[in-house]
Amino acid sequence: MPAALTTALRTVLPHWAQRLLSQGFATLQGGLALACLYQLVLLAGARSAVREPTSEATTEGAASNFVVLMPAHDEERGIEAALRSLLACDYPRERVRPIVIADNCTDSTADRARRAGVEVWERMDAAKRGKGCALAWALERLWTLQRPVDAVVVLDADCVASSNMLAAMDRALRAGAPAVQVSYLVDNPGESHASALRFAAFALMATVRPLGKQRLGLSCGLFGTGMAFESGLLRSEPWSSSALVEDFDYHLRLVAAGQRVQFVPDAWVRSAMPISFASSNQQQARWEKGKLQVIRRWSLRLIASGLARRDLNRAHAGVEQLIPPQSLIAAGSLGCVGAGLALRSARLLALAGSTLVAQLTFVVYGLRLIGAPAQVYRALLAAPILIAGKLALYARLLGGGGPVSWVRTER
């Protein structure tokens, strides 16, 4: 087949056109190679951070007074487990005020939360739906109350927290961090190939890369749950409710304001993910369309600001949004392999092959670094299914399709 395609190209295209086509593919592959190089730099930083002995920061004063906001939309099946894990945290109970935001609920979420002994704020607003709107509403209400609040924690109602989550957050905040993010892990990698691949994606995006960024002194990012903020920060930079991925958007707002989110790898939150590729794609559609919004809103602005101010944190945050996901890196590199064979370009073949090796190194070694279970490695064989679904999704998004508002993902 490659020989026939090569013959057809040489017959139809003049030599200069073949060279131009080869150069175009080489430029594309060069961009993908740079993306993999960036990931390998973060992997090296993560490896160094894991090997370095952990030292707890010295803190002074009393433990933080936390308000824990738990946005919940029809979460009756999981909210009790989430609350049990929160209330079981090894932290002074009198300094924790859990508040469940029962947002446009049509089930028994609010009743189950009350039976667990926590405060419930019910909100009904069909015009402003979704987690971002619920959090913005709750924070506005919180500031009107005359009770001491040092920091606000956000924990999703479908997540369980490690017993040290609040204590780890408290240490980081009192040591000077304005905002912190713990590891976000997938709880059910053994249920299906879809959930196992989601485990791999989260492990690399929400643990390995943040570890590397933390090691390099960069802001680690926000992942929507298992995050905490100083009250003063939330008052000066109010939570945004306008983006499909409000956590990504808010993180870039903080970076633009000169702030840095600190990663706390020794604590975690876990959540079950969809076990079918169809449900997983629904969730991914919101994330990817939201990311495109964030890129348009922030990337060039942060890159320009970072260069003008010689601020690596700002510039990095803008560039990072342009790094393609693993599926596009793999699909683009395989496409360039095919083009290299058809055009008989040894340079293109070498560049594409090197990129695929670098990508595989990042994925496999990154999964080893966080101790991924065996089923996750086996699920990598099903990655072509995920890649095909992602390519179809990107085509739909580029055509103007995709979600326009938050939709709850069935798990």
Domain parsing of the chain, residue ranges? 2-51+313-398, 66-305
pLDDT of residue 5: 57
pLDDT of residue 59: 65
Q: What is the pTM of this model?
A: 0.89
Q: How far is CA 128 from CA 9, 106, 137, 284, in A?
A: 54, 16, 10, 21
pLDDT of residue 281: 65
pLDDT of residue 397: 74
Domain 66-305 has CATH 1.20.1250.20: no
Q: Cβ atoms within 10 A of the Cβ of 152, count?
A: 24
Bridge partners (DSSP) of residue 152 are: 67, 229
pLDDT of residue 289: 79
User: Cβ distance 408 to 71 under 8 Å?
Assistant: no
Reduced to 3 states (helix: H, G, I; strand: E, B; else coil), residue 43 is helix
Helix, strand and coil in the chain, % to nearest 5: 60, 10, 30
pLDDT of residue 84: 97
pLDDT of residue 53: 64
Residues 6+ apart with CB under 8 A from 211: 42, 45, 46, 49, 50, 263, 265
Which residue ranges in the chain fall short of pLDDT 70? 1-13, 53-60, 241-243, 279-283, 286, 401-411
User: Cβ distance 33 to 351 under 8 Å?
Assistant: yes
pLDDT of residue 7: 61
pLDDT of residue 242: 64
What are the structure tokens assigned to 17, written together? 């056109």
